[in-house]
Chains A and B, each alone.
Chain A
Amino acid sequence: MSRTVSIINTGVANIASIQSSFAKLGYETQFTASAQDVLDAKAVILPGVGAFEAGMSALNSLGFSDALRQRIHDNKPTIAVCLGMQLLCESSEESPGTKGLGILKSQIRKFSPGIRTPHFGWNMVTGTPYFGSGYAYFANSFRLAEDPDDGWEVATCEHGERFIAAVRKGNVVAAQFHPEISGDFGFSILEKWLEGVTW
């Protein structure tokens, strides 16, 4: 059976780069067409760029939010990238009043006053043995400041202050940076995550 990673297509991300990165690693990709797909897929990536509210409303209107919560609860291989990671949280200062997926019991906040944003470019990620350490490509104005606890291991980064670069629990990974365009370091994380998939 072919090894296919399912992409949640909220319509606005750099989808072609994500497809291309999995192709280079030897995997096929497809888009999730239904909530059942989101629930049943062997491996799911939630990409995302743009604003928190737009991302959540896309997930809600596709009817994928509950399915995503369920599959992450069930420890099914799932990776969330950039805005995708932020959507896993409870809320964001970017879109007050919009509820996130609430999987990470944390809030997304702006960088502190005086810190230049957006945080754009390559920055050093300091990780756990799972993540390793290396340079990754970021593009964010908001960040997860505090460890989500609750069993999540964290990799961190500095941009005027410490923030969370990535988290992982079991087969679920979320990264503020873009592993699909973070060179060898980014690809090593995708590969590590894919090792957790039973095809």
Chain B
Amino acid sequence: MVTKRIIPCLDCKDGRVVKGIQFQGLTDAGSPAELAARYQIEGADELVLLDVGASIESRNNQLQTVRDVRAQLSIPLTVGGGVREVQDIENLLHSGADKVSINTAAVTNPLLVQESSRAFGAQCTVVAVDTKRKGDNWIVITRSGTEEQELDTIDWVRKVEQLGAGEILLTSFDRDGTQLGYDLELLRAVSQAIQIPVIASGGAKVTDHLFEAFQAGADAVLAASMFHYQTHTIGQVKRELRELGIEVRL
């Protein structure tokens, strides 16, 4: 049986790890390569590295950061942030990514998802979906949460699955950085709508939050703050999850 995955996320800007609340107010949280090495030792199942600095300078730093992090890792590495065309994906793969996460560009040019899946395979094509609640539903938001799209989140995940996405990285804007727990209703709705794995993101603070996300259908959970500031180690969280009956790699 495939185990549930714990994935620390490194949001990076200008070569440093940063962390914010609802995508804003970024503070420094350390060196990407050092944190990556620590997380692997603690038992991370893979790592996500997102470039949240929008500048060209930050993008150039990104490839070097990917190389530095890759040199530390023997687990899968997903990289995202500013991926606009097939060439960006190829550059990241050649720098040491195993999977590439496409966010805003998937919305503005859905065919990019298809091209990526055909050229590099579904297994390396992750679509990041940032979403927020609107009325009884959820809508897709882009450009780091600054733009609302006329796009229902459930319709969107079904579409990108058809286009060849291999996984969905689902971030709740409402919960990001709040430490209130994942949006479980959202997770249930999305994981029931599609076959491909769903990575839950946004809101984790304690092991129970991760447990609830798995119960709601998540295949993997992403967490940043709860690991960066060493309030929890991944090994400790995994042992607690196993006691709660969740199968994890230990």
Residues of chain A at the chain B interface (Cβ within 8 Å): 12, 14-17, 20-21, 23-24, 49-51, 83, 116-124, 135, 137-141, 158-159, 178, 180-184, 186-187
Stretch at the interface among B21-29, B74-82, B147-155, B171-179: B74-82
Listed from nearest, the 5 A-B pairs whose CB atoms lie closest are A139-B123, A50-B121, A49-B121, A16-B96, A135-B249
Cα of A50 to Cα of B71 in the assembled complex, Å: 24
Stretch at the interface among B1-9, B30-38, B107-115: B1-9
27 contacts between A and B (CB under 8 A): A12-B121, A14-B97, A16-B67, A16-B70, A17-B96, A23-B71, A49-B120, A50-B119, A118-B197, A119-B2, A120-B123, A120-B166, A121-B3, A121-B219, A122-B2, A122-B45, A123-B3, A135-B3, A137-B46, A137-B75, A141-B122, A180-B74, A181-B46, A181-B75, A182-B74, A183-B40, A187-B74
Does A121 lie within 8 Å of B74, measured CB to CB? no
Contacts of B93 in A (CB 8 A): 14-16
CA gap between A133 and B67 in the complex, in Å:
30
- Residue in A20, A159, A184 whose beta carbon sits within 8 Å of that of B2 in the complex: A159
A21 to B70, CA, bound (A): 9
Q: How far is the CA of A131 from the CA of B176 in the complex (A)?
A: 42
B40 contacts which chain A residues (CB < 8 A)? 183
Interface residues of B (CB under 8 A from A): 1-5, 40, 45-46, 67, 70-71, 73-77, 93-98, 118-124, 166-167, 195-197, 219-220, 249
Chain A residues with CB under 8 A of B71: 20, 23
In the bound complex, residues from chain A placing their C-beta under 8 Å from that of B4 are 121
Residue of B nearest to A19 (CB): B96
With contacts A12-B120, A135-B249, A137-B76 taken as known, whether A181 is within 8 angstroms of B1 at the C-beta atoms is: no
- Specify the main secondary structure of chain A where it touches its partner: mixed
Closest to A55 in B: B121
A121 touches B197 (CB 8 A): yes
CB distance B195 to A117 under 8 Å?
A: yes
- CB neighbours of B67 from chain A (8 A): 16
**A22 → B minimal CB distance (Å):** 11
By the criterion CB–CB under 8 Å, are B2 and A181 in contact?
A: no
B197 near A21 with CB under 8 A, answer: no
Give the CA-CA distance A83 to B124 in the complex, in Å.
13
B74 to A51, Cβ gap below 8 A? no
Q: A16-B67, A83-B121, A137-B75 are in contact. List 18 more A-B contacts (CB 8 A).
A: A16-B95, A20-B71, A49-B123, A117-B195, A118-B123, A118-B166, A119-B2, A120-B166, A120-B197, A121-B3, A121-B4, A121-B45, A121-B197, A121-B219, A137-B46, A159-B1, A180-B74, A184-B74
Residues of B within 8 A of A119 (CB): 2
**Cβ B1 vs Cβ A158 within 8 A:** yes
CA distance A49 to B124 in the complex (A): 9
What is the bound-complex CA distance between A95 and B148, given in angstroms? 40
A139: which B residues are within 8 A, CB to CB? 123, 166
> B74 — which chain A residues lie within 8 A by C-beta?
21, 24, 180-184, 186-187
Contact A118-B196, Cβ < 8 Å, known A14-B124, A137-B75, A137-B76: yes
